[in-house]
Amino acid sequence: MTEECIFSLPYMRFLIDGPTTIHGSISVAGAKNAALPFLAASILLDAPLEVHRVPMIEDVHRMLEIAHRLGIAIDAVAPGVYRLTAAGCTTSELPADLTPKLRAAIIFTGPLLARWGSTVLPQPGGCTIGQRPIDLFLDGFRAFGVTVTEEAAGTRFTGKPRSARYVFPLVSVTGTETLLLLAVRTPGVSVLENAAMEPEVTALAQLLQSCGAHIEGIGTPTLVIRGVEHLSGGVVTCIPDRIETGAFAALVAACGGSLEIRDCDPTQIAVPLKLLEDMGATIATDATAGVIRISAQLPLRAISIRTHEYPGLPTDLQPPFTVALTQASGLALVHETIYEGRLFYVDKLNKMGANITLCDPHRCLVAGPRPLHGARLESPDIRAGIALLIAAACATGRSVIENVYQIDRGFERIEERLRDIGVRIQREEEGAHQPSAPIALPDSRSPQGVVGY
């Protein structure tokens, strides 16, 4: 991999002309939240890991560059397919210039500790959606016998991990994944209780198991891990992105029309689909074929929603569902139970004509239906960004969404895919900076001669 990989986006914005009626079909990409821990897991393996259906998004590009800086060899085998070989991993310290830009970088700490017995974590970044302290990670590492030291450069973890029983005080997907990656290479039997049960956690556990890890309780809140000395390589395919699937369904509920969502797993968003049915949408699923068919005639009925850990309504789907509620008839209470800052985007919807009252950082009242009008907006984070895009699609007139880097972090080629289902959207670029590029690899290291994607 060359050092010419560019991650600074030019100044970009989306121009959306509404209103839109949705029609046609759309395919779901691989899950970002599955791909990122897969990439980190490669550090633990004695042979290469080949990951398929990797979404070509900014967060993946950053994760790959961090992996490269750690000494992992990365081959772009084909579009959306990467082979990672960790034999040359030469450092245990995460790069100070990249880690603060990506919250998921913290997942690297588990495998780095398991491999080297030490690592340094600069303050991780990510979306600004409220308090996201790393105390849970620190407590978990201490339970495994790791010494935690705060330094000017970040947090230093040292010491050979030992098996442990750890009870998560709060359900944490990233925390579960990080300690799972630590435990599979730690001698003895470790137990993680109140572990996250999200499909992405299950997918990671199944990958590790296919490489020789001993894990009991996969898909339950209690994981029992018997550490092993070696893990083989393997091939894994990212599961469908359930957040993207739910966002597309919410788009139909907000705009009206009909849509076939392909390459998805309806079982992973059973609760969100039930909520849309309660609102009056017509939904048919075929889990075997990986298809959801949804149609909506506006206005739908308002219902109250509450976020919850899996299998409940994901916090990442709360913003798109709130937009749909602005077009539904009646009064709805939205209760965000996970992040206290996740509702702070609703003032942007009010700017477009919505009638939303923020009761406190966790709750808001949505009165509808309210016709929305185009506005100039700025995307504050990934999930609020896609919600604003949905709002613009159902609004009358032109909307301009700035800071689309945040949307690009989680959604691959979103404007191209939405155009295919009736959304009038275009990307506009200004400024002299070069566009973001995928990982650049020398031809000699890519057996198919594929550079980037």
**Both 39 and 174 in a single domain?**
yes
**Are 88 and 194 contained in the same domain?**
yes
Active site residue 394: no
Give this prediction's pTM.
0.91
Which ranges constitute the DSSP H helices of 188-297? 199-210, 242-255, 270-279
Q: What is the pLDDT of residue 437?
A: 47
Q: Which of 89, 127, 264, 364 is catalytic?
A: 127
Range of the domain at 425: 11-29+240-430
Residues 350 and 412 occupy one common structural domain:
yes
The domain tally of the chain equals: 2
Element at 123 (helix H, strand E): none
Question: Is the domain of 234 the same as that of 244?
Answer: no
Are 241 and 26 a contacting pair, CB within 8 Å? no
Distance between CA atoms of residues 408 and 405, nearest Å: 5
Residues contacting residue 424 through CB under 8 Å, at least 6 positions apart: 16, 17, 18, 20
Amino acid symbol at 105: A
Q: Is residue 240 reached through a cis peptide bond, with omega within 30 degrees of 0 on the bond before it?
A: no
| 361-402 per-position pLDDT tens digit | 999 999 999 999 999 999 999 999 999 999 999 999 999 999
Q: Which pair of tokens denotes residue 61?
A: 């590009």
The arithmetic mean of pLDDT across residues 118-126, rounded, is 77
Are 181 and 271 found together in one domain?
A: no
Spatial distance between the Cα atoms of 411 and 407, rounded to a whole number of angstroms: 6
Q: Above 90 in pLDDT, residue 435?
A: no
Whether 209 and 285 map to the same domain: the answer is no
Assess if residue 3 is contained within a domain: no
Q: Where are the alpha helices (DSSP H) in 20-165?
A: 32-41, 58-69, 109-116, 135-143
Residue 118 is assigned to a structural domain of this protein? yes
Same domain, 207 and 275: no
Tell whether 301 and 388 lie within a shared domain.
yes
Q: Is residue 25 part of a domain?
A: yes
Same domain as 274, residue 352 = yes
Query: Is 169 found in the same domain as 36?
Result: yes
Task: Give residue 103's pLDDT.
Answer: 85
Which pLDDT tens digit goes with each residue over 159-199?
Answer: 999 999 999 999 999 999 999 999 999 999 999 999 999 99
Q: The CATH number of the domain where 158 resides is what?
A: 3.65.10.10
The residue-averaged pLDDT of 219-238 equals 97
274 and 215 in one domain? no
CA distance 333 to 325: 10
Give the integer Cα–Cα distance in Å for 372 and 276: 20
231 shares its domain with 246: no
Q: What is the pLDDT of residue 133?
A: 60
Q: How far is CA 74 from CA 49, 65, 146, 281, in A?
A: 10, 9, 30, 44
Q: Residue 164: CB partners within 8 Å, gap ≥ 6? A: 143, 144, 145, 183, 190, 191
